[in-house]
Chain A
């Protein structure tokens, strides 16, 4: 029995649609879990389903087509998911499927499976070989580029730290008769934490770097007539949205791509959120809510006199920027008191007057800083998606090791976790074999009778 593999099948970059393909015995179950769809799929029949993350937040609505083995491209159970384009959406759905037990496919792996399962002729397979070669070379070049940067050093260091930790743990398991002074679990635990922080920082940089590569999605929200379209126009520099005094003028979301400090940013304006019986507008409202969920940043405009706060679903979330608009209409005194008196607890990120473009640059730089998590875009280590998956695996293994240490579980479990972490990092830097580990033990410790 094979495991289940998943990958984004369409090229990187923003298209109107993006396809994710998942193949293997658990593919149907994984999709059912991700969409909370309880009945059975009919092979080759399309369904429109919602994808949710583990906290039941909506990721995307997508067209799902399921195939039953052997009648599929790979000859296995397979599902194709057509998402809305945009790397954020695709990555979010992909990550969800990974967390449900799928594994990132290796280059050419779908074709390899098709070939193994007799779905592909030898001629076709030879073409695949050339493809794999070409992709491998591209991958090698890409990896080489990647490795030229600071990432190489940091990953190398990470690998070395992990190897040293594992060396000590293995020493305590295999060479117990030789009187070596071993580390206490506390010391090992501290080391695990320090490596975990390092992995975390790399993952954080990946997330920041990802914005530079894939772009960020900023969604402007707020009560009707709070100035959303005016803000959009200022942010992008020309009249894109229809601006009028009548609440509810913007009937749909619209978007524009821009370069902010190296980040390709798309700004979406949304329809105002309000109860309405107007059919078009309530559809727009629903779509706005969906956008808030997949946005990297939600700018929530609050303006006098109502200062309508963001919807409950958004409060407390990391990607929420609450902004006071129409500051030109306000005497600055007492606004904050007025707002807090209504029970509002969000931090106000900044004050602007969209109409007179006051405070707009401040907002822009606050947003880019938030996206880059304080990193200078020129110093960022660009981590590839597959590498970030591997780092994520390493992170989970290290967390498990940390937990095993704190629960006072056996060292063999800690060793198992550290092996997994080391193998994951090793897939980026070059594999670490058990022989490498023994070499390290033999060179550092006097072992043997």
Chain B
């Protein structure tokens, strides 16, 4: 008997288990392969645009991914450095095996109350309309549980394709799980099919890397996890190159051998992660497509061929590969492949990630329609925390769109009903300037502490840094100086301005102001380069941030207005047929969510609000009547 059981030990599964465990519950992870938690199925890299921000948010919520990333990082790059800090996105190449070992050891050392069970789940057990246990292939009696979280990745009826060959597998040659899909279908869950793919791995020693462009790690040191202090592994480069006309001709001539193009694969793949076949066919005018050769690890014999995802027959993949610079004699270590898998539409889920259909059952990661390690980890963490909070009879942890990318992620999933695997982008966040990688702790720390996801020491240090930052922001506003002190060629050198005002000019940074004002700016304040940077960013974006805060406040009443789960939209004749359909499909939990559904207009919302109040009033009166009735019968 466990309080929470996690099905699947991938990125979502381990965060779910760790979150529930941090909240003090007894947890088990059921996985097909013990000692191989959080495998990197696709590229050996973490983060990137918007995804790097997600990892920082996981760190603020006390998760494992940022720590393991730092433990296994072999190259750090801050993407978008040439643009403003709101879109800076941390990314790391990691050593594939070290990553998995890091997660294994973190769970082993820090999470003593997590059991790892190596078995295959066959079906779910319910009692009184609630999850009550799971049945595994390797044991006769079910394992009882208070909650179950399915983080099965691509394993539910996973079907791998290479050329005309296909076989049931969740990853290359790892056994898929078909019976859990059947069990979900029997419980009434609608299932849809998504598709994703991965490029071939190349034998490193068969590639002439000398002719390729090198991409090195960044000199400046920074980390994903607050607790990390040093780079632990030697840093390695990647190599960049491009496809060429020969590559494209070859792929075009063999296109019918790709299951993506000959009709074998019907399911939907992500448009932002196209196969090389897709790229060549859909963008014929492009002369070349970028390719990055990424190390799979420090001593790993393979390279990951980023940009070359394919499900062509292995022989064709080899031929296409050999058209690339430095690759004329390259050998494939493992071919690229496509995989189709079952997905539970996210409209089945509440914002706690609990399913509407079967209370106590949660979903996270690819099974719920996302794509990416970071997205899965975030959802796993939220599902794990909410499963635990529900068992503890405490309020769920919910994230608004202005709290973090994590809030955008969940809100988008339940309101958009995406028809392709969902990946995070910075452009999905309307409050992008607010949701930065540098302020994740400030945005999420209190939420995490309240839910029990981080401890007192951690929140104390977050609060300390925040008040130090606020003190700096205040001081920078107060100190005034003549322009000429910092802008020697300014036409009005004697004009006095606040340091904050000057800092808003793109050509001036805080260090210059500190130097120019020797001491008077920093007098009595804590000098911490990270805090300083945070204060600087806040001031540079001030005007825009004010605007975003006003917008957030404007929508607050709407966001906070709850809609009961059993609310009947059929009783409102004034709603248009389209909005009634959308509302019934998504069953939004707040008026704010309802407002983001396609086809729901502001006047629909006003009408809805009136009926909501009416509904509440009637319920109140009914309750009163019942109480009166009881008093009468007693008398």
Contact = CB atoms under 8 A, between A and B. Distances in A.
A174 B554 contact: no
Interface stretch (B256-264, B339-347, B381-389, B422-430): B422-430
A179 interface: yes
Interface string A416-446: 1001000000000000011101100010011
B309 A449 contact: yes
A3 B282 CA distance: 47
B603 A3 contact: no
A129 B606 contact: yes
Contact of A434 (B307, B430, B550): B430
Nearest to B423: A448
Nearest to A437: B427
Contacts of B79: 176-177
B606 A112 contact: yes
B474 interface: no
Given A448-B271, A448-B272, A174 B609 contact: no
Interface in B603-623: 603, 606-607, 609-610, 613-614, 617
Interface stretch (A31-39, A354-362, A406-414): A406-414
Given A125-B613, A410-B86, A1 B553 contact: yes
B20 to A, nearest CB: 32
Contacts of B574: 129, 133
A3 B550 contact: yes
Interface in B587-635: 598, 601-603, 606-607, 609-610, 613-614, 617
A2 interface: yes
A339 interface: no
Interface string A116-157: 100000100110110011001000000000000000000000
Contacts of A179: 242, 289-290
B297 interface: no
Given A3-B554, A175-B49, A416 B274 contact: no
A107 interface: yes
A129 B575 CA distance: 11
Given A122-B614, A416-B433, A419-B430, A410 B550 contact: no
A438 B87 contact: no
Contacts of A178: 290
Contact of B84 (A122, A410, A435, A446): A410
Given A1-B556, A449-B273, A434 B428 contact: yes
A173 B610 contact: no
B491 interface: no
Contacts of A412: 83-84, 86-87, 426, 432-433
A170 interface: yes
Contacts of A446: 274, 279, 282-283, 286, 289
B306 interface: yes
A416 B544 contact: yes
B506 interface: yes
A308 interface: no
A448 B273 contact: yes
A110 to B, nearest CB: 11
Contact of A173 (B427, B541, B598): B427
Given A435-B416, A447-B272, A410 B87 contact: yes
B329 to A, nearest CB: 24
A86 interface: no
Interface string B307-328: 1010000000000000000000
Contacts of B541: 413
Interface string A398-412: 000000000111111
A122 B617 contact: yes
Contact of A448 (B86, B274, B426, B553): B274
Interface residues of A, number: 49
B406 interface: no
A103 B290 CA distance: 47
B505 A132 contact: no
A78 B137 CA distance: 68
A108 interface: yes
A1 B506 CA distance: 33
Contacts of B211: none
B24 interface: no
A28 interface: no
A438 B606 contact: no
- Of A103, A129, A438, A449, chain B has the most CB atoms within 10 Å of the CB of A449
B506 A409 contact: yes
Nearest to A166: B427
Contacts of B609: 112, 115-116
A158 to B, nearest CB: 20
A283 interface: no
Contact of B613 (A106, A115, A442): A115
A447 B556 CA distance: 35
B562 to A, nearest CB: 14
Interface in B530-549: 541, 544
Contacts of A128: 606, 610
Contacts of A173: 49, 80, 83, 87, 426-427
Contacts of B432: 412, 415-416
A23 to B, nearest CB: 14
B396 interface: no
B410 interface: no
B439 to A, nearest CB: 15
Given A132-B607, A174-B50, A177-B290, A413 B544 contact: yes
Contacts of B282: 446
Contacts of A435: 416
B48 interface: yes
B607 A133 contact: yes
Contact of A3 (B49, B309, B553): B553
Given A3-B550, A173-B49, A408-B506, A133 B271 contact: no
Given A176-B80, A407-B505, A448-B273, A438 B48 contact: no
Given A132-B607, A174-B425, A178-B290, A2 B554 contact: yes
A442 B418 CA distance: 15
B355 interface: no
A353 to B, nearest CB: 53
Contact of A126 (B80, B603, B610): B610
Nearest to B424: A174
Contacts of A103: 554
Most buried by A among B83, B416, B574, B601: B83
B409 to A, nearest CB: 12
A103 B550 CA distance: 12
Given A411-B83, A413-B544, A132 B606 contact: yes
B270 interface: yes
A396 to B, nearest CB: 11
Contacts of A125: 610, 613
A128 B43 CA distance: 57
Contacts of B487: none
Interface in B504-546: 505-507, 541, 544
B309 A174 contact: no
B557 interface: yes
A433 B415 CA distance: 12
A34 B544 CA distance: 24
Interface string A86-122: 0000000000000000010011110010011000001
B431 to A, nearest CB: 10
A98 to B, nearest CB: 14
8 contacts: A1-B556, A115-B609, A122-B613, A122-B614, A173-B426, A411-B84, A442-B272, A445-B283
Interface of A: 1-3, 103, 106-109, 112, 115-116, 122, 125-126, 128-129, 132-133, 136, 170, 172-179, 407-413, 415-416, 419, 433-435, 437-438, 442, 445-449
Given A2-B553, A112-B606, 16 more contacts: A1-B556, A106-B602, A107-B603, A109-B606, A122-B613, A126-B614, A170-B425, A175-B49, A175-B272, A409-B84, A410-B87, A412-B86, A442-B271, A446-B286, A447-B272, A448-B271
